[in-house]
Amino acid sequence: MKKELLIASALVSTLGAASVANAVTATMSGSHAVGLKSTDTEAAADATLAQNNASDFSVSLSETTDGGIGIASSFMVSNEGSHLSTAGLTLSFTDGSKLDVINGGNAAASHDISVPGTAGNPGVTVTSTNNAQTGLDFFAKATVVGVEWHSAADFMADGLKVSASVSADDGVAASSTVAIESSWGLGATYVTSAGDTAVTIGAGLANSEYKDSAASTEGSNGFHVGASAVTGNLTVAVGYADGDLVRNNAATEWQITDNSVSKIGVKYVSGDVTLSAGFTSAEADDSQTLGSVSGDTDSKDETMLGISYAVASGVTANLGWKDIDANNDGSNDTTAGSSWYVGATMSF
């Protein structure tokens, strides 16, 4: 309750000081991708080939007060899962810092390094009980009752930016699945140079407490660190994450422990053509008993290749390939396999 009151007070006092008098400015953007996707798994007798579409439409809203404080929000409509995604409020201050209020997110997730991989949308959906997490920020969770603060550039040192977040119980009752009770996160990004190479280092740390139907609490926690180096048209990036996670999957509670993720990727741009390749390896122990370590190991190894070609302004042709080798509870996961994608994306 104390955390909720502090967050609510911060929101009310900040908005009260804003004193907006101008009309809101709206900008629109979006994309539409059309392609063919082939999937070939070990369990299937034949490969499948299907049309693969993905569309989204975003509206960004912003205005600046007479005192120089920027207020922004946005929403996005996407046909991937047919959902509406809405952001909270972002306040931008004259010193360059920002504050995300209402659904602020987790600061650890704001600073993970982007590692190159494939192009387009190839992919294989492995069995739902394989809980190996492949994202660098898999542990960074938060409720909508939360705030995240972002420093201005060159915070305490040239090239350094930091973020901090906290969220509180949003009142969602834990019944057949767990619910987040509270979370905090810290993140930092440092940009420097080494000769002709621009180097970016990102890191994050987070912790989340959960409640379940038995009124006990189980936690998620972890860290990530990564770096990218850009020399001319060549980008090389690596990332590593480790931690624990409580996951809801089809009304089943899973305790995922010692989940480690290693990523490496490379990208080369030559005129209108972008070549990319990446590899991800993830491994974790999972159990359907919260707080328990079963010793059953899940794993995923993903190998990716991609080619993108800028056909015209806002139009990109993509050819991508991904192969997933997976194990579920220590045994070969026959739902894994390979996939290729060919198509085009139109953006505005």
Q: What is the DSSP string of 228-242?
A: EEEETTEEEEEEEEE
Would you write out the chain's pLDDT as a tens digit for each of its 348 residues?
Answer: 444 444 445 444 544 444 444 579 999 999 999 999 999 998 888 889 999 999 999 999 999 999 999 999 999 998 866 677 888 899 999 999 999 999 999 999 999 999 999 999 999 988 888 899 999 999 999 999 999 999 999 999 999 999 999 999 988 777 667 788 899 999 999 999 999 999 999 999 999 998 875 545 568 899 999 999 999 999 999 999 999 998 876 567 788 899 999 999 999 999 999 999 999 999 999 887 776 666 679 999 999 999 999 999 999 999 999 999 999 988 888 889 999 999 999 999
Cα(239)–Cα(194) distance, integer angstroms: 19
For residue 73, tell me if it sits in a domain.
no
Q: With contact defined as beta carbons under 8 Å apart, do 200 and 164 qualify?
A: no
Q: Provide the residue range defining the domain that includes 177.
A: 32-54+105-146+153-347
Does some domain include residue 6? no
What is the token pair recorded at 105? 């997110």
3-state secondary structure (DSSP) of residue 339: strand
Which amino acid appears at position 69 of this protein? I
Domain CATH for 39: 2.40.160.10
Whether the Cβ atoms of residue 316 and residue 33 lie closer than 8 Å to each other: no
pLDDT given for residue 21 in this prediction? 46
Helix intervals (H) in the chain: 2-18
The 3 state secondary structure assigned to 139-186 is CCCCCCCEEEEECCCCCCCCCEEEEEEEECCCCCCCCCCCEEEEEEEE
Q: What whole-number distance in Å separates Cα of residue 259 and Cα of residue 206? A: 14
Residues comprising the chain, all counted: 348
Report residue 230: phi and psi, to 5°.
-120, 120
In a domain, 96, yes or no: no
* Tokens describing residue 3: 């955390």
Measured in degrees and rounded to the nearest 5, phi and psi for residue 57 equal -135, 125
In whole angstroms, give the CA distance from residue 89 to residue 148.
11
Residue 141 falls inside a structural domain: yes
CB atoms within 10 A of CB 323: 17
Q: How many CA atoms lie within 13 A of 167 on its CB side?
A: 32
Whole-number pLDDT of residue 8: 46
Would you state the structure tokens that stand for residue 171, as one six-digit string? 């009142």
Task: Flag whether 256 is in a domain.
Answer: yes
3-state DSSP call for residue 111? helix
Domain presence at residue 66: no
Residue type, 116: P
Total domains, the chain: 1
Distance CA(105)–CA(265), nearest Å, equals 26
Asked if residue 123 belongs to a domain, the reply is yes
Q: Does residue 24 fall inside a structural domain? A: no
Tokens matching residue 270: 């030559």
Q: What is the pLDDT of residue 191?
A: 97
Query: What pTM was computed for the model?
Result: 0.86
Residue 85: the pLDDT is: 80
The answer to whether the CB of 268 falls within 8 A of the CB of 294 is no
